[in-house]
Structure 1
């Protein structure tokens, strides 16, 4: 027998053993006890439980039922009606942005389960516009906020420009102070400086938080934010304001995105949001933050809450998608190629539920584990927000950047897997996954492009390593007989992050030694692919650590299933970075085979007894049927009539 024949024989023997193992696991599954869904939902929901329940109940109103037959104009009108009715309930206030941030976020998060256009339109109004005014403004701006609370003044957020997306520092809209009239003059000097992709701008917004480069007495002071009236009380455009509609989009048809130009628009001196920067009547500029770069960081601080809401929206969409796909897959059967041996996956006619296949389990259960991981990591981020203070603020920026990028990139994969696992039913709008894929595709690039956000995660890690001289890669953890317990997984994830930090810090430091700051910046730019990988490594390690801590401290009845999910999440993140582990010798080829087999075993545990544990964990998200909405998840898929 030749070497190639021996390899084929060995492979066939390996597959036969693997199949026997899977059959054995199906007959005698070793599975954690299924948790009480209500107890799990209570564990996952840490704040404002009564408020969330009240909003979920309010969303039973037929106005919020799905309607996938509308034109763009119809979607916009429906979204405006939904927003008006929701705002009219006064579940929360724009003032809660600063006085009770968890309540503020909780109210807006509930809309994720209804319709993403509604969530985004409310988020732009309350978070980006209202929150920025609340954070950067003073008491003189409170009348504006009170009118935003009643929707008398619908708001938008005019930061992004046609020629300036992520480079907010480089925006070209100008604001010059005129001491003769005690006004600021807001101007769009060229077409690239026009505000672009502004939600609410095309039709509905009457007021905007506008970012512009401030010049006082001929001195440039950097980007500042001004409250600018766009439309009068009757909806007519104000003098000097020109608006265009961005038109149809891939998704989010309920949000009226637009473009705007300012032709020397005059606004009163009080239009400047002046908590940190003031211009007195005579034109003297004062600011409590001397450095322009630090000043700029303060001006865009409102984006952090927006990123948190987008991250949570991605996670909530994954909850819906995984629940729909898992429920459907547990009941949808097809003819089995195996003998009709006793199995929890076999139906009355010997057919087999598609959730019984390892290919389905790997996609759906890894998505389930990742969704739990991201949700629990977000709970840790929210605690940092509540903690407050300068140090916590720095951490919030890094963590929110990593989790926004990680959760939205995960969301793309998870929802697509859910769509495919449901076949044609997943393509049907009524089953919700497809519309979410369309509406949310933009989340990877708005509120900060994900690749840029991963750089925000990596930079402080590299700076700290450079200062500490930590530029030597640590040795990989000793993994010989790979049983892949949670502690082992945690060590491997941490090592990957540390190894990437050390390597990048060494390269950037060497460039700096040769050519100074300019050479260091060039070296960083040349390594952006590795920088993004470092951002991922940090996000994987952070979210796994958060998950492990939560699982360890959970109520006893929830600890075992959460620990199993946590292990699966960690194993899947090791698989995602397997090239790094192999190339550095942290894992041997045999260990990688063991890793793959271990993932399959955990998936089989989650899928045992017809997916009992996985289904209970999906139910643990606590999504009511009137918000889950998908017919294949809340009814019998065989009776669905469209």
Structure 2
């Protein structure tokens, strides 16, 4: 394959950006320290963030003209330091992106301050009692006509703003979401800029910040809980793109429906899902590099009885890791296409939210599987903090919850599918081959065209099954639709959204394949995409057999093909992992380098000054 072409396709952004990030990561500030205090861990994460902003290679205004640059930054930080990546996503997407997304002229002064960290922000949406159903949050922002100010207040324990990144140590501003009370009328949730620390770093009067302490991981992130006790802010601190209160105290909004307005003012959660997916995609590539690189140098017993065989040569190792490598690359291609659509959604406006949701779900769940498998297949070495799998695992688990619980997002995807197809904005995918008369006769179902058709069939089947069950339970059994969705058809909803995402990923992969002209590179990607497709179909072989869509012989043949294709992929895996845009020099991971040399001296699990 053409290694540079392969790397550029995986990168999914302007190639010249890669060199800038690789150069930045040579700075010693990015060398991780493990046996340090909580305070030091947080300070290290902040200093890394400061290096990124000082380099001026990313700006919050990129959302206006180059949003892919924001996602690229997330991918690199997800590889190098998940805590810094998390602080970055709050500063540049949730806080900064919300300022950009909801600003009017009076807020533009904040843009350069966000970029240079003179304004460090946090995003106060989640409440202790309202991690979901945030539209019903208890925090209020009441307009005082006499002083032309809003009064921000968290009236109960359940209304405290919870899990607020950047709040304990570094933030001086917060975007606070609250029920907007104007002339005794609740106008719904809006966003307000609230100063939480003064110029000397002291917490502002009426603001209480509670330390949340040690977490499962990502302890470089300073999460806190915030209370606001009747904190007054100027009228102009309302982020007023979609709603405003004028000087006479009158509320204005072109969006009259309060729930619709809520989704507009919280729109950064949509880009946030791509940001989380980007962090996870970067981390996935690093995990695969670490796990496979170690397997290629770690010796196990060979035919001679000596330790002379790299464990990567074992079929056990290849069959565990390489299908995940293929799935990760397929999801990478799909992720890149989703980023492109986000930047230019024309023609996809009705399905952009679905795309961002499924991208986050599939990429983060795959990240979790990659980490667990690579950790296990690395044995005891994978358990050391300095070999990074624990750090990545914490990021994956944070990603499953942040910017929307994955399983809840799957419900949103299924509901949007039914709405879009019902209103004829979208249609179910059309199959090339008949699932009853043609595909069951195939002995080989491993071509990309047939695999795509099988993924389409599962999506169509799940959609029709869901619609039929909802109609029967609501119309015949007279059950409320909410109860049906939440208590009776959960498994079908999850299956439908998964099948939609896996089919869409395969379609994006085939589309990308058509754009590749260099034959060896094209053959490499085709091999990878076939493994992804076969693995996806075989995981659901019981479904396909029960529906009579494939024969038992075809499934048996597909399994044999998968084993052979994995062996073919193993041959070129060394070239693949070296061209997945991993800044190897910034991993500082013993097992990804010369782990034997590292163990010549006692470093006590640290990598500072170690020989890697």
Instruction: With the length of structure 1 as denominator, give the TM-score of the two structures.
Output: 0.88
Do the aligned residues in 2 keep the contact of 1:201 with 1:258 (CA within 8 Å)? yes
Q: CA deviation at 1:434?
A: 2.7
1:435 to 384, 391, 401: 391
2:539 matches 1:576: yes
Match of 1:585 in 2: 548
Change (3 A) 1:364 1:88: same
CA contact (8 A) 1:358 1:600 kept: no
Within the candidate set 566, 590, 600, 1:631 is matched to 590
Q: Which runs of 5+ in 1 are unaligned?
A: 1-34, 341-346
What are the Cα deviations for residues 52-78 of structure 1, in whole angstroms up to 9, with x where unaligned?
321220110111112112221110011
Paired residue for 1:558, among 509, 521, 528? 521
Aligned equivalents of 2:329, 2:513: Cα separation in 1: 11
What is the alpha-carbon distance in structure 1 between the residues aligned to residue 14 and residue 549 of structure 2? 44
Instruction: Return the alpha-carbon distance in structure 2 between the equivalents of residues 466 and 358 of structure 1.
Output: 47
Give the corresponding residue for 1:544. Answer: 506
Distance 1:388 1:480, change over 3 A: closer
Q: Give me the whole-angstrom Cα distance separating, in 1, the residues matched to 2:122 and 2:342.
A: 24
Q: Quote the offset at 1:201 in angstroms.
A: 1.1
Offset of 1:324 from its aligned partner?
Answer: 1.6
Query: Residues 52 and 107 of structure 1 are in contact (CA less than 8 Å); yes or no, is this contact kept in structure 2?
Result: no
Partner of 1:597: 560
Match of 2:480 in 1: 519
- 1:579 to 1:300, Cα distance in 2 relative to 1, 3 A: farther
Structure 1 position 373 matched with structure 2 position 326: no
Matched, 1:482 2:443: yes
Taking a change above 3 Å as real, the CA distance of residues 583 and 170 of structure 1, as seen in their structure-2 partners, is farther
Matched, 1:128 2:94: yes
Give RMSD over aligned pairs. Answer: 2.2
> Does the CA contact (< 8 Å) of 2:451 and 2:537 recur in 1?
yes
Contact 2:299 2:307 in 1 (8 A): no
Query: CA distance change for structure 1 residues 89 and 592 in 2, over 3 Å: closer, same or farther?
Result: same
State whether residues 590 and 598 of structure 2, in contact with CA within 8 Å, keep that contact through their aligned partners in structure 1.
no
- Is the contact between residue 123 and residue 164 of structure 2 (CA under 8 Å) also seen in structure 1? yes
Alpha carbons of 1:438 and 1:460: their partners in 2 closer, same or farther (altered >3 Å)? Answer: closer
Check if 1:149 corresponds to 2:115. yes
Deviation at 1:466? 4.6
- Aligned partner of 1:461 among 395, 417, 421: 417
SS in 2 for 1:266: strand
Matched, 1:418 2:374: yes
Following TM superposition, by how much is the alpha carbon of 1:289 offset from its aligned partner in structure 2, in angstroms? Answer: 1.1
CA drift of 1:92 comes to 2.4
Of residues 110, 116, 121, the one that matches 2:82 is 116
Give the Å deviation of 1:467: 5.3
1:21 aligns with: none
CA distance in structure 2 between the aligned counterparts of 1:209 and 1:228, rounded to whole angstroms:
6
Match of 1:383 in 2: 340
CA deviation map 1:142-189 (0-9, x unaligned): 122332222111101000000111222121111111111111111111
| Candidates 141, 159, 162, aligned match of 1:175 | 141
The alignment status of 1:362 with 2:324, answered yes or no, reads no
In structure 2, C-alpha distance between the alignment counterparts of 1:36 and 1:622, rounded to whole Å: 14
Partner of 1:48: 14
Distance 2:562 2:331 in 1: 19
* Matches of 2:365 and 2:596, distance apart in 1: 30
Write the distance in 2 (CA, Å) between the matches of 1:573 and 1:222: 43
Contact preservation (8 Å) 2:79, 2:285: no
1: CA distance, partners of 2:592 / 2:34? 18
- Contact residue 606 and residue 614 of structure 1 kept, 8 A: yes
Q: Residue in 1 aligned with 2:574?
A: 615
The 5 A counterparts of 1:159-308 are 159-308=125-274
Q: Secondary structure at the match of 1:394?
A: coil
Encode CA deviations 1:266-288: one digit per residue, 9 max, x unaligned. Answer: 11111111111111112211112
Larger radius of gyration: 1
When residues 597 and 138 of structure 1 are mapped into structure 2, their CA distance, relative to the original with a 3 A threshold, is same
Q: Distance in 2 between matches of 1:600 and 1:281?
A: 70
Deviation of 1:638 (Å) = 6.8
Are the equivalent residues in 1 in contact too, given 2:74–2:278 (CA < 8 A)? Answer: no
Distance 2:148 2:410 in 1: 42
Match for residue 469 of structure 2 among 470, 492, 507: 507
Q: Aligned pair count?
A: 592
Secondary structure at the counterpart of residue 165 of structure 1: coil
- Give the aligned partner of residue 72 of structure 2: 106
Matched, 1:396 2:352: yes
The 3-state SS of whatever aligns with 2:244 is strand
Task: List alignment gaps of at least 5 residues for structure 2.
Answer: 604-612
In structure 2, how many angstroms separate the alpha carbons of the residues matched to 1:441 and 1:169? Answer: 25
Q: Secondary structure at the match of 2:216?
A: coil
Superposed displacement of residue 449, structure 1: 0.2
Contact 2:75-2:280 at 8 Å conserved across structures = no
SS at match of 2:199: coil
Q: Distance in 1 between matches of 2:591 and 2:253?
A: 58
Q: 2:38 & 2:350 partners in 1: Cα distance?
A: 40
Residue 439 of structure 2: SS of its match in structure 1?
coil
